[in-house]
Structure 1
Amino acid sequence: MDGEVVWRIGERIVRGAAGSVTGNHYDRNYDVVHLDPDRSLAIVADGMGAGEGSAAAGRLAVETFARECGGPSPAALRAAVDQVHFAVRQEARTLRGLTGCTLTALTAAPDGSVRIVQLGDSRAYRLRAGLLELLTVDHTLAWLGLIHGWYAATDARAHADGYRLTRYAGHPDHPDPDVLDVPLRAGDRLLLCTDGVSGQLDYETLTRLLAAPTPVPALLDATLTAGGHDNATALVLTVT
């Protein structure tokens, strides 16, 4: 476990926990997770590729977003992401292999809901009354291909296009992130995770483990049991 926090968001108490495992494929962990103890801010990033550039992209993106996130308004969140783009691109000039990273972050909104800002394919889910919902979309060619019917999910092209991100932190075109409002209800569980979790655990497993008394270690252990083919990071928020 990388940390646990307790926040008050509107009338709700939100308890957060996060953790990450390297898995069996890579010799180091290129995921980065931040769970702020002093304010309601949670961030997950996943470096693209492997090597020092991948690690630096995720680390720099998380550090920059945490520093530049000056408020929960959509404009402020987009401005913080723009600073992330700039910082990662600047670093790319001096560090070989730096390409970019996913970025999925959550912060409290003034009305007691939360706002999620996202680039890439690190996902956000909500478990409510036994129903697990995917709140975000994957910014990949595979997602577009499946939505538009270019091929079936089992097609080899879908697997290959899953690695081709259409939006990410550090993209030369500085694409805008998705920003969405998520109301909170007592009993909700929110999950932010990298594709090492969502790509290795099926819907039924995610639903069952997210409902467990200690979901973070359960989810991470399950990714290792599934083969540990990728770094895996899970950040869970429980609403009461």
Structure 2
Amino acid sequence: MSVPGGSVRFRSSARSDIGLKRAVNEDSLSADAPVFLVADGMGGHARGDIASRTTVDVFREHIADDAPSTPERVLDAVHSSNDAVRDLSDEGDVGEMIAGTTLAGVAFVDAGAGEGCRWMVFNVGDSRVYSWQDGVLAQVSIDHSAVQELVNAGLIDAERAETHPDRNVITRAIGTDEYVDTDVWLLPADGVRSFLICSDGLTKELDDRAISEILAGCDAARDESGTLDSDSPADLLVAAALDRGGRDNISVVVVESLFTPDGTSAGQSPLA
């Protein structure tokens, strides 16, 4: 893809699995440059699977696939998704039927004002975005959940949060309120950048150490040729989560980018 100041190549792997305990897969994902995202329909609510799929469809309608997007266009897609999912809710004989979904993703954007290209991380709910840089896994997004608020207040630690009875209670979601409050981060897009986007079906089964070991193994497997002969990172992560119990739907997108400035030879690309 040609971008201001150079060109960028993308490589991604994606997989969504119903898991071993659920009757319906309420997750949806998209792995089409320049936007990569995961949406996790709210379990226990009406039409969670339709809500997540609707969100993905709205993004595909709003974001062109042949150029960097913009922060404004991504946020417009978030708000349009919120409106579309709210339209799925209705009043019935048993009260309001609510449709909702989490949303987490990364978008390759032109930040404007001479800032050049950036990776834009965004999230609503407890699906997550991690960076994977130089063998270090770091959570970028912050969960919008009841237990995260307890952690932030210093009332419980991260280890206790993993088993807290309110760990599945989220405090923000697409479709539940008239206005959706979205967290956003703008990160560098130079060189090689990698991100993991996932629903909580992955992080319920695998801790950061286990995820890092799988991603590091994938990196090592393609060090020599630049290609990965075995299963994709997304396949391996989902398979590991299933081996650990697969209690929820599991969705994973792993995306890597290589930015080459104008006048610079790409040489042997790690994204071959």
**TM superposition score category, shorter chain reference:** 0.7 to 0.9
Secondary structure at the residue paired with 1:33?
strand
Query: In structure 1, which of residues 15, 18, 28 is the aligned counterpart of residue 14 of structure 2?
Result: 18
CA distance in 2 between partners of 1:163 and 1:8 (Å):
41
Q: How many Å apart are 1:46 and its aligned residue?
A: 0.1
CA distance in 2, matches of 1:174, 1:158: 31
1:43 Cα deviation after fit: 1.8
TM-score w.r.t. length of structure 1? 0.87
Alpha-carbon distance, 1:49 to partner: 0.9
Residue 239 (str. 1) matches residue 236 (str. 2): no
> Are 1:109 and 2:109 matched, yes or no?
yes
Letter paired with 1:107: A
Structure 1 residues 43 and 94: CA distance shift in structure 2, 3 A: farther
Contact 1:56 1:98 in 2 (8 A): no
Code of the aligned partner of 1:172:
D
| CA distance in structure 2 between the partners assigned to 1:128 and 1:55 by the alignment | 32
8 Å CA contact 1:127, 1:189 repeated in 2: yes
Matched, 1:150 2:147: no
* Greater CA drift, 110-119 or 192-201: 110-119
Greater shift in the superposed pair: 12-21 or 171-180: 171-180
Output the amino acid matched with 2:52: G
Could you tell me which of 228, 233, 237 is aligned with 1:219? 237
Could you tell me which of 59, 66, 78 is aligned with 1:81?
78
Partner of 1:64: 58
Task: Name the CA shift for 1:27/1:216 in 2 (closer, same or farther; >3 Å).
Answer: same
How far does the alpha carbon of each residue in 1:180-208 deviate from its partner, in whole angstroms, 9 at most, with x for none?
A: 11213544321010001122101111111
User: Taking structure 2 as the reference length, what is the TM-score of the superposition?
Assistant: 0.77
SS in 1 for 2:212: helix
| Match of residue 99 from structure 1 | 99
Residues of 1 paired with 2:71 and 2:167: CA distance? Answer: 28
Look up the SS of the partner of 1:28 in the other structure.
Answer: coil
Across the two proteins, how many residue pairs are aligned to each other? 232
Shift of 1:79: 2.1
Residues 196-207 of structure 1: pairs in structure 2 closer than 5 A: 196-207=201-212
1:90-139 deviation per Cα after TM superposition (whole angstroms, max 9, x unaligned): 11127874331001122211223221221111101111111111010001
Query: What corresponds to 1:28 in structure 2?
Result: 24
The CA deviation at 1:68 is: 2.9
Q: Give the C-alpha shift of residue 89 in structure 1.
A: 0.9
Q: Which moved more, 1:136-145 or 1:48-57?
A: 48-57
Q: CA RMSD in A?
A: 2.4
User: CA offsets per residue over residues 65-98 of structure 1, 9 Å max, x none?
Assistant: 3223477333332222111111111111278743
The range that moved more, 94-103 or 125-134, is: 94-103
Aligned mates of 2:99, 2:35 — CA distance in 1? 25
The answer for the alignment partner of 2:141 in structure 1 is: 136
State the secondary structure of the residue aligned to 2:47: helix
Q: Distance in 2 between matches of 1:8 and 1:138?
A: 34
Unpaired stretches in structure 1, ≥5 consecutive residues: 1-6
| Bigger mean CA offset, 151-160 vs 197-206 | 151-160
Which residue is 1:123 aligned to?
128
State the match for 1:209 in structure 2: 214
Residues 156 and 144 from structure 1, CA distance in 2 versus in 1: closer, same or farther, beyond 3 angstroms?
A: closer
Q: Which amino acid aligns with 1:55?
A: D
Evaluate the alpha carbon distance shift between residue 43 and residue 154 of structure 1 in structure 2; reply closer, same or farther with a 3 A threshold. Answer: closer
Query: What is the SS of the residue equivalent to 1:149?
Result: coil
Distance 1:212 1:80 in 2: 35
1:24 and 1:158, CA in 2 relative to 1: closer, same or farther beyond 3 A? closer
**Partner residue of 2:224?**
none
Structure 2 residue runs of 5 or longer lacking an equivalent are 111-115, 219-231, 259-272
Could you tell me the percent identity over the aligned residues? 28
- Do 2:90 and 2:97's aligned partners in 1 also have CA atoms closer than 8 Å? no
Q: Which has the larger radius of gyration?
A: 2
Aligned partner letter, 1:45: A
